[in-house]
Chain A
Amino acid sequence: QSALTQPASVSGSPGQSITLSCTGTSSDVGSYNLVSWYLQHPGKAPKLMIYEGSKRPSGVSNRFSGSKSGNTASLTISGLQAEDEADYYCCSYAGSSTFYVFGTGTKVTVL
């Protein structure tokens, strides 16, 4: 099972909106509404930002939103802030043989 495909880098200016993509297959992203997104600052543990494609855990800013279309999931960050600069990983449930597959990761830079 290959990793989900994410763009290596995305950048934006403060206040702008950016969208990160996460492309899988009909065996993972396309089959289940079970995509989650994680933010990871350098040297730190990942933090859950979105689960079940579009749900935000308590305490996560509503500037973060998730969606899915076909085999591609997306994370949108609106009102970009300096603290949003980090690596972002998507993850999808992939069935009862592979179980979980992560994305390749996207580095978000705030200009």
Chain B
Amino acid sequence: QVQLVESGGGVVQPGGSLRLSCAASGFTFSSYGMHWVRQGPGKGLEWVTFIRYDGGNKLYADSVKGRFTISRDSSKNTLYLQMNSLRAEDTAVYYCAKDGSGYAFDIWGQGTMVTVSS
């Protein structure tokens, strides 16, 4: 079945770095754009970043531009999010999501928690 599984979350100090991974299965990963969406504790959803199916176009929310980098390895069916210069406000559950019709997010992973704290 179609599945996305995130990993790599944890506790990191302010200013630190972390890399998240999202393993995809059940669909042709190399044919679809992918997103990262996050949700702070008790808060709503926030779109973070997008990468085109071929990695040729990457988009970022202003809140993470210059600090986060999205990438993908289609040979491993895996999406990545490199997060640098982390701040307390980056504390959230990070979800990877498949790009669907009409600019929607049609498949979501279960999420991985990132906590930025000293």
A interface residues with partner B (beta carbon < 8 Å): 3, 32, 34, 36, 38, 44-48, 51-52, 55, 57, 89, 91, 93, 99-105
Contact = CB atoms under 8 A, between A and B. Distances in A.
Contacts of A47: 108
A97 to B, nearest CB: 9
Nearest to B48: A100
Given A36-B104, A91-B47, 17 more contacts: A3-B44, A32-B103, A34-B102, A38-B105, A45-B108, A45-B110, A46-B108, A48-B104, A51-B100, A51-B101, A51-B104, A55-B101, A57-B100, A99-B59, A99-B61, A101-B47, A102-B46
A82 B115 CA distance: 33
A52 B45 contact: no
Interface of B: 37, 44-47, 50, 59, 61, 95, 100-111
B103 A34 contact: yes
A100 B47 contact: yes
A34, A52, A100, A104 — most chain B CB neighbours (10 Å): A100
A8 B118 CA distance: 33
A72 B95 CA distance: 27
A37 to B, nearest CB: 9
